[in-house]
Amino acid sequence: MRKLLQCITFIFLAVSVSSKEEKVDRVYNRGLNGKEHFENDIHNKEYDHEAFLGEEAKTFDDLPPEESKRRLGVIVDKIDHDKDGFVTREELRDWIKFTQKRYISEDINKQWAMHNPENNPKLSWEDYEKLVYGFIDFSNVVNQEDENYSYMVMRKRDKRRWQMADKDGDDALSKEEYGKFLHPEEDEYMKDVMILETMEDIDKDNDGKVSLKEYIRDLYRGEDDEEEPDWVKSEREQFDTYRDKDGDGFLDVEEVKNWVIPPDFDHAEAEARHLIYEADGDADGQLTKDEIMSKYDLFVGSQATDFGDALARHDEF
């Protein structure tokens, strides 16, 4: 178990380091699947596939085309809640929300079983810390140059999140509390700790606010003498026009929160509108099964993808 968790931690750190050309995203409330709908201004089809199908799936191309299309038809029938032959925006939105909630629930169950194999009523911080960080010697960590410094930062953040999720203060989490620890974006009470983590990452001079330079440097890892991609120039405009609401040249904590956790924006609603716009051949504001099937690639994709959960569930078909 310890070796497995060690590997998971190393993988986490590896995927957290992006190439200098890649855009780093900070918006926690992408909500649907952790992906950008548009990556560097290019439409990302996987966003649509994962929003529609859900996460934690088997490779989609493992299914023969005929079978995958049959299962897509079954999904359409499930979405059409009132069985009138049309998928409305509301029905599609509710389905997308359902797939996201199912993913979160399954992720919590999986992580709880991994960290609490005996399924005790609560998981103590001491046991969690031993499982996740017990293989690391922190006694010699002095500065950022030490190889275990990143793990020390992760442990500190985990501890802070743990304490936030631990409502009764007994230094142990119930499964419900552990879910808040894993997915703080789902709980209003936990969102402040996410903003604090973001500020720590970006605010390099520790002055309590984010300058344009810090903002861009966090999103883009290019060298100073390199020509910036167009999307970076667009982000500069975003900073001035939308992020820096009081126009003082910096983002304070509230402005960072509005950026990272956009208020009053329903991602499932936006995705439902997008899918209907793309597939609604007769422009009547709703979708028939034929319209969805004719846009097969939009909804489930023809390329290999790691996300096809709804199509891979044999018990539902």
Asked if residues 257 and 191 have their Cβ atoms less than 8 Å apart, the reply is yes
What's the pLDDT at 86?
97
As a whole number of angstroms, the distance between CA 65 and CA 86 comes to 24
What's the pLDDT at 265?
77
Q: pLDDT truncated to tens, each residue of the chain (317 aa)?
A: 443 344 434 334 333 334 444 556 677 544 444 445 444 444 455 655 566 665 433 445 567 778 778 888 888 999 999 999 999 999 999 998 888 888 889 899 999 999 999 999 999 999 999 999 999 988 888 888 888 899 999 999 999 999 999 999 999 999 999 999 999 988 888 989 999 999 999 999 999 999 999 999 998 877 777 788 888 999 999 999 999 999 999 999 999 999 988 887 788 898 899 899 999 999 999 999 999 999 887 887 533 223 344 445 544 55
What's the pLDDT at 206?
93
As a whole number of angstroms, the distance between CA 14 and CA 195 comes to 22
Residue 64 lies in a domain: yes
What's the pLDDT at 53?
62
Longest Cα–Cα distance of the chain, Å, equals: 67
As a whole number of angstroms, the distance between CA 109 and CA 123 comes to 13
What's the pLDDT at 94?
94
Pairs from 117-123 (Cβ < 8 Å, separation ≥ 24):
117/1, 121/174, 122/170, 122/172, 122/173, 122/174, 123/172, 123/173, 123/178
Instruction: Identify residue 309 by its one-letter amino acid code.
Output: D
What's the pLDDT at 155?
94
Residue 122 lies in a domain: yes
Residue 263 lies in a domain: yes
Residue 314 lies in a domain: no
Residue written as token pair 């290999």: 304
Residue 317 lies in a domain: no
What's the pLDDT at 205?
95
What's the pLDDT at 51?
63
Contacts of 271 (CB under 8 A, 6+ apart): 32, 37, 47, 48, 51, 93, 96
SS3 (DSSP) at 44: coil
Residue 29 lies in a domain: yes
As a whole number of angstroms, the distance between CA 37 and CA 46 comes to 8
What's the pLDDT at 303?
30
Segment 299-312, tens digit of pLDDT: 875 332 233 444 45
Residue 315 lies in a domain: no
What's the pLDDT at 6?
41
As a whole number of angstroms, the distance between CA 62 and CA 154 comes to 36
Residue 265's H or E segment, with its range, is: none
- Give how many domains the chain has, as a whole number: 1
As a whole number of angstroms, the distance between CA 155 and CA 141 comes to 13
Domain that holds residue 224: 2-308
Residue 144 lies in a domain: yes
What's the pLDDT at 32?
44
What's the pLDDT at 66?
81
